[in-house]
Amino acid sequence: MAKQKFDYDLIVIGNGAGGGVAADIVASSSKRVAIIEGDTLGGQCPNWGCVPTKALLHAANIYDAAKHGANFGIRAAAVGYNYPSVKAWKDLAVKRTGAATSQKYYQARGIHLFNGEAHFISPHEITVNRRHLSAEHFLVSTGSQWVIPDIVGLKNVPYLTPRTALDLIRPPKSIFIVGGGAVGVEFAELFSIFGSKVYIADFAPRLLPREDDEVGDMLGEHFTKHRGMSVLTKTKVTRVAREGIVTRVTYVRGGTEHTVKVDQVLIASGKTPTVDIGLENAGIEYSPKGIEVDEHLQTSAKHIYASGDVLGRYMYTHTAVYESRIVAHNLLNKNKVTPDYTAVPRVTFTTPEVASVGKSEADCLKRDLSIKTGIAPINIIGRSNIADQRDGFVKVITDRKGTLLGGTVVSPHAGEVIHELTLAIQHGMSAAEVANTLHAFPTWSEAVRVACTKIKL
């Protein structure tokens, strides 16, 4: 029987973190690979996600630290900022990732790039700008998009999304942020540092509702006391309307209707996988929560894999890259591997930073696991005294035998500190083993050791 011929061995739909890595690895094995990208090369993270937001936050934190230098004898009366220059810094950081100009790199690797929206028209064929391309295998890594909530009047008023908020030419005088998740709180902090009056609302009883209770409570208090924000938890935004140059936002909190007038409204109420690419025509099973895959990241059509945000599991760059590598391995090898999500770190870049890994306390309670917790406030360690940063804690969760299951760090540089716990959880270490490991004085990581010593068997 004649072998079925295809244009490519692999077509990757989406050039974000979940797609580019696999394309690169597979192409290096002399396979014919094509990438289809409907937006900017590199996808969300380097262009309008992690990189630009963290670049803006970095500038904001420098400004904030300078403003509060008086405690350390630093005169800061004349500190100011020029937002277009701050934005230029952000643009430079984005440009330096090289993502948007990676076309030459891919061409040099023999990977064909197509710019346009891909749409399956059959299990082995897609259409891109009316050009039909076929492949033996596909990787769907179309990422996710922001959910626009059903708020009365929202269609008739101009509003920001986390993508468009990056291109503001000046911080708004006041802003109402819908969504108290990681992205919402990062933008809240950013605009608050640059002087905006910030309202941040979420239906959940605290900010960062996916984290342990203590995290959201502490961050809410920090935002209210130190940043002057209005933190509106247990709040439902019901209506928005334009009034001249401002937007009137109506929300219900505690059974009472309130109204505020703000310059801008930012919608940051979560993301949903991008699945509208004709998956039905390829026989791929999916739900609005994402594409369903097996343990090898194969969809219900076995020649089609999926990775990254489109799976609806962990919407992080590092998990997307990890899954992309797994897919590349499984495409090239007979012994297929399975992703291991035991220790997925996640970081929210506020001040203090919030980082966590593994299971949260709520996860453990849902699974009816018998657990022990150890908490160390950061104000008991030397570094806290030196840096004059008092708010924060480290919390570790173990099973009954003391094996680490999860951890949360709320402190400066928590995003770095968390990786000690990530390593420990990934390799099944006990809290005692971490506690018995020397930690340098004076570092934030000492709080991890102290929290681990609080686990008593």
Partner 1 sequence: MSAAHYVVKRKRTHSEPFDPLKLHASIVAACLAVRTLEGEAHLAAERVTRHVIEWLSSKTEVTSADLRRVASSHLQKYHSEAAYMYEHHVLIA
221 vs 280, beta carbon nearer partner 1: 280
> What are the start-end ranges of the E strands in 339-456?
346-348, 353-358, 371-377, 393-399, 404-411
Closer of 124 and 383 to partner 1 (Cβ): 124
Among 3, 5, 75, 130, binds partner 1 (CB under 8 A): 130
DSSP 17: H
| C-beta of 274 vs 307, nearer to partner 1 | 274
Nearest distance in Å: CB 165, partner 1 = 22
- Closer of 281 and 426 to partner 1 (Cβ): 281
Helix (H) or strand (E) holding 382: helix 382-387
Cα(344)–Cα(319) distance, integer angstroms: 8
* 193 close to 63: Cβ distance less than 8 angstroms: yes
The least CB distance from residue 273 to partner 1, in Å, is: 16
**Distance of closest approach, residue 201 Cβ to partner 1, in angstroms:** 29
Distance in Å, CB of 85 to partner 1, minimum: 35
Site for partner 1 in 110-129 (CB under 8 A): 116-117, 119, 121-122, 127, 129
User: What is the contact mask toward partner 1 in residues 413 to 432, using x (rule: CB under 8 A)?
Assistant: --------------------
Torsion, Cα of 42, 47, 53, 55 (10° steps): 90
3-state helix, strand, coil in the chain (%, to 5): 35, 25, 40
Binding mask 321-360 toward partner 1 (x if CB under 8 A, else -) reads ----------------------------------------
Can you tell me which of 40, 115, 281, 300 binds partner 1, judged by CB under 8 A?
281
- Two tokens at 25? 């690895």
Give least dist CB 142 to partner 1, A. Answer: 12
3-state secondary structure of 25: helix
Q: At 404, which amino acid appears?
A: L
Of 142, 146, 145, give the one whose Cα is nearest residue 284: 142
Binding-site size, partner 1 (CB under 8 A): 12
Residue 29 or 287 having the CB closest to partner 1: 287
- Between residues 3 and 130, which has the closer beta carbon with respect to partner 1? 130
CB atoms within 10 A of CB 126: 27
Helix (H) or strand (E) holding 306: strand 304-306
CB of 279 to partner 1, least distance (A): 10
Tell me whether residue 120 or residue 223 sits nearer to partner 1 (CB atom).
120
Select 119 or 313, whichever has its Cβ closest to partner 1.
Answer: 119
**Beta carbon of residue 33, minimum distance to partner 1 (angstroms, whole number):** 22
Nearer to partner 1, 154 or 450 (CB): 154
Beta pairing class for 304-306 and 286-287: unpaired
Kind and range of the H or E run holding 127: strand 125-128
| Sheet strands (E) in 313-360 | 346-348, 353-358
CA 8-14-15 angle, 5° bins: 95
Helix (H) or strand (E) run with residue 113 in it: strand 112-115
- Which residues on adjacent β-strands are paired with residue 178? 201, 267
Q: How far is the CB of 127 from partner 1 (least distance, A)?
A: 4
Whichever of 209 and 278 has its CB closer to partner 1, that residue is 278
Contacts for 3 with CB less than 8 Å, ≥ 6 apart? none
Angstrom distance (rounded) from CA 406 to CA 429:
11
Give Dmax (Cα) for the chain.
Answer: 82
Pairing of strands 112-115, 33-37: parallel
Contact pattern from residue 241 through residue 280 relative to partner 1, giving x for each residue in contact according to CB under 8 A and a dash for the rest? -----------------------------------x-x-x
Is position 153 an interface residue for partner 1 (rule: CB under 8 A)? no
**Which of residues 117 and 292 has its CB atom nearest to partner 1 in the complex?**
117
CB of 283 to partner 1, least distance (A): 12
| Euclidean distance between CA atoms 409 and 443, whole angstroms | 13
Least distance in angstroms from the C-beta of 289 to partner 1: 17
Angle ∠(286,283,119) on CA atoms, nearest 5: 85
> Which residue, 80 or 288, is less far from partner 1 as judged by CB?
288
Least distance (Å) between residue 163 CB and partner 1: 16
Residue appearing with tokens 């819908």: 178
Tell me the closest approach of the beta carbon of residue 284 to partner 1, in angstroms: 13
- Footprint on this chain of partner 1 (rule: CB under 8 A): 116-117, 119, 121-122, 127, 129-130, 276, 278, 280-281
